[in-house]
Homo-oligomer: A and B are copies of this chain.
């Protein structure tokens, strides 16, 4: 980074710390920031600070929220009788973008991974049990990721909920839309057969 003035070097350094941003991209972004009106740069900087200052965890579902409750929990039209359990807020966003789901969520903030020291106490599982005890629900959809950690978590949650007589379902695992069986891995093929349904 020779030749750059110190504040530019520092900006490039800070930008390079972002995931997927290498030094080349960082200096391209820095050059861009140097060129835009000061107002634009200030808006970007402030939105970074704002997100840290204002974002909290929803007291009902543990999604990211601006106030006490998140957008979904604040929406009176959502069906509180169905809870969809996800690992991270990212999964919630992805499901919201599909536009297919009208229930509410419960964000675990992780998945069981004993080797990383993540047991049931590190996740929001106790809070889920308390929630369904206080407000009875028709169904809980377990939408953890189809990974080893996600499957283990799904198993535990299903067991705990079934013990309380609550209907539990798991999202379908199978061939993605536009996918091709010849490129699918063995586990996915096994799942697409297991989750088959009558037509």
Cα distance, A14 to B3, chains bound together (Å): 28
Fill in one digit per residue for A62-74: 1 if any B CB lies within 8 Å of its CB, else 0.
0111100011100
Cα distance, A13 to B1, chains bound together (Å): 29
Q: Which of A46-84 contact B (CB under 8 A)?
A: 46-55, 63-66, 70-72
Min distance, Cβ A134 to any Cβ of chain B, angstroms: 24
Asked if A34 meets B66 with Cβ closer than 8 Å, knowing A4-B71, A49-B41, the reply is no
- Interchain CB contact under 8 A, A5 and B45: no
Contacts of A147 in B (CB 8 A): none
Chain A contact surface mostly: helix
Contacts of A15 in B (CB 8 A): 44, 47
Min distance, Cβ A135 to any Cβ of chain B, angstroms: 21
Residue A38 at the chain B interface, CB threshold 8 Å: yes
Residue A8 at the chain B interface, CB threshold 8 Å: yes
Contacts of A14 in B (CB 8 A): 43-44, 47
- Interchain CB contact under 8 A, B5 and A70: yes
Fill in one digit per residue for A20-44: 1 if any B CB lies within 8 Å of its CB, else 0.
1100010111111110001011111
Cα distance, A15 to B25, chains bound together (Å): 14
Give the 8 A-B residue pairs with the shortest CB-CB distance, closest first: A3-B96, A45-B45, A5-B66, A11-B47, A45-B48, A14-B44, A14-B47, A7-B54
By a beta-carbon cutoff of 8 Å, the part of chain A in contact with chain B is 1-8, 10-11, 13-15, 17-21, 25, 27-34, 38, 40-55, 63-66, 70-72, 89-90, 92-93, 95-97, 99
Known: A7-B51, A18-B44, A41-B48. 18 other contacts (CB 8 A): A2-B93, A3-B72, A3-B93, A3-B97, A5-B65, A7-B55, A11-B50, A14-B44, A15-B44, A15-B47, A20-B25, A21-B29, A31-B90, A33-B52, A34-B64, A42-B49, A42-B52, A48-B48
